[in-house]
């Protein structure tokens, strides 16, 4: 990974922080894309304790599509290519909340923000020798189907159903985008990952630190973030995967996924809906083969 430029979203905590550390140890320059300056700086100072690592901290709030656009613009001004984008950040909501643009928050943060970020960064990924996208899904993708009639869970909100839907969306997007990239003869690949059940701060309320005891209990039962990062790092770095795309991985192997996640009509429908929700009037992938609009 020496000389490679990698973005990891949600890199200040848990699996994202461990992924950033492992890739930096392999020689990559890792951009820590974080929503909180304070938590991002704290993570960066931890990560820098080991010499020879190269990081940059940049602000990204996936709950605000304007922040996603600002991040992509700032990154594109500074870097002329991107070798890998790891869409790692995610939340397990407690109660129904909305993003700045009014989308249900787990749909907005876990999926829609990552969808827009990916489309905006495709031109720079295309400039890499072989750009890679990693989508953080979960075994939770199999908990149901997309709620087409109420994708924002305005009725009957359930945190687990909303989380499951967002992770299914990440997998459907992986299928749709891999096909579109292949059709354009692009070298860019996209794959999805279930990291395992990992003891992280995903259960901790960031506003008041509640449920930290649950995170501590998880450490006794579940795998560490370092172990949880392994499949993301493998998908980013292994040369053998240069032409593997559109797959779902667990423990560094292709894993079976739910029937709903293989439905290509749903994948296309979600892609079209997501373009609309992000304000696109045209599909950037419908442009000429050698350019993304
Ligand atoms: N832990 C598991 O067992 C497990 C299993 C399957 C999948 N996953 C997935 O793995 C990914 C990483 O989760 P984790 O377990 O490592 O949890 P974590 O320690 O809570 O890390 C989540 C990261 O996402 C960031 N984030 C949350 N909202 C954001 C926003 N609006 N904009 C940008 N970043 C935001 C968090 O930043 P703040 O610290 O500022 O909140 C944090 O850096 C998630 O997508 C999760 O769904 C986890």
pLDDT in tens, 150-178: 999 999 999 999 999 999 999 999 999 99
User: What atom of ligand 1 comes closest to residue 202's alpha carbon?
Assistant: 20
The rounded Å distance from CA 47 to ligand 1 centre is: 17
pLDDT at 119 over 60: yes
Determine the Cα–Cα distance for residues 173 and 282; give it in Å rounded to an integer: 17
Q: What is the mean pLDDT of the chain?
A: 95
The DSSP output letter for 239 is G
Q: Quick check: is 163 catalytic?
A: yes
Does some domain include residue 17? yes
Q: What pLDDT score does 216 carry?
A: 85
Does some domain include residue 251? yes
In the chain, the N- to C-terminal Cα span, in Å, equals 29
Average pLDDT over residues 178-193: 97
- Give how many domains the chain has, as a whole number: 1
pLDDT at 120 over 80: yes
Does some domain include residue 291? no
Q: Where residue 260 sits, what CATH number does that domain have?
A: 3.40.50.720
Structural domain including 234 reads 5-286
Does some domain include residue 183? yes
The rounded Å distance from CA 87 to ligand 1 centre is: 10
Q: What pLDDT score does 260 carry?
A: 97
Does some domain include residue 293? no
Does some domain include residue 292? no
Q: What pLDDT score does 69 carry?
A: 98
Q: What pLDDT score does 292 carry?
A: 64
Q: Which residue has the higher pLDDT, 51 or 277?
A: 277
CA distances for 83 relative to 139, 160, 230, 236, angstroms: 27, 33, 18, 9
User: What atom of ligand 1 comes closest to residue 89's alpha carbon?
Assistant: 24
Q: Cβ neighbours of residue 14 under 8 Å, at least 6 residues apart? A: 198, 200, 201, 202, 225, 228
Indicate whether residue 114 lines ligand 1 (CB < 6 A). no
Q: Which residue has the higher pLDDT, 221 or 263?
A: 263
Residue of 172, 115, 125 lying closest to 292 (CA atoms): 125
């Amino acid at each position: 990974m020496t000389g490679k430029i990698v973005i990891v979203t949600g890199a200040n905590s848990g699996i994202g922080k461990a992924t950033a550390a492992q890739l930096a140890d392999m020689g990559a320059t890792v951009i820590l894309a974080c929503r909180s300056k304070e938590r991002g700086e704290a993570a960066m100072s931890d990560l820098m304790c080991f010499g020879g690592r190269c990081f940059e901290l940049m602000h990204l709030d996936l709950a605000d599509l304007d922040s996603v656009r600002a991040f992509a613009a700032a990154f594109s001004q500074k870097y002329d290519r991107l070798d890998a984008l790891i869409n790692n950040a995610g939340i397990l909501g407690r109660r129904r909340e909305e993003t700045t643009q009014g989308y249900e928050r787990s749909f907005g943060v876990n999926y829609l923000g990552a969808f827009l970020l990916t489309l905006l960064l495709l031109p720079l990924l295309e400039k890499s020798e072989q750009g890679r996208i990693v989508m953080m899904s979960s075994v939770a993708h199999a908990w149901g189907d997309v709620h087409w009639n109420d994708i924002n869970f305005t009725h009957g909100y359930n945190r687990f159903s909303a989380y499951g839907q967002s992770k299914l969306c990440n997998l459907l997007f992986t299928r749709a985008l891999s096909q579109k990239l292949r059709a354009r003869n692009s070298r860019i690949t996209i794959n999805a990952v279930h990291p395992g059940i990992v003891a992280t701060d995903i259960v901790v309320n960031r506003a008041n630190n509640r449920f930290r005891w649950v995170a501590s209990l998880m450490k006794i039962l579940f795998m560490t973030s370092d172990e949880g990062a392994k499949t993301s790092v493998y998908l980013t770095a292994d040369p053998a995967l240069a032409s593997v795309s559109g797959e779902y991985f667990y423990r560094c192997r292709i894993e079976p996924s739910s029937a709903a996640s293989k439905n290509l009509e749903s994948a296309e429908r979600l892609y079209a809906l997501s373009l609309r929700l992000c304000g696109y009037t045209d599909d950037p992938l419908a442009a000429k083969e050698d350019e993304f609009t």
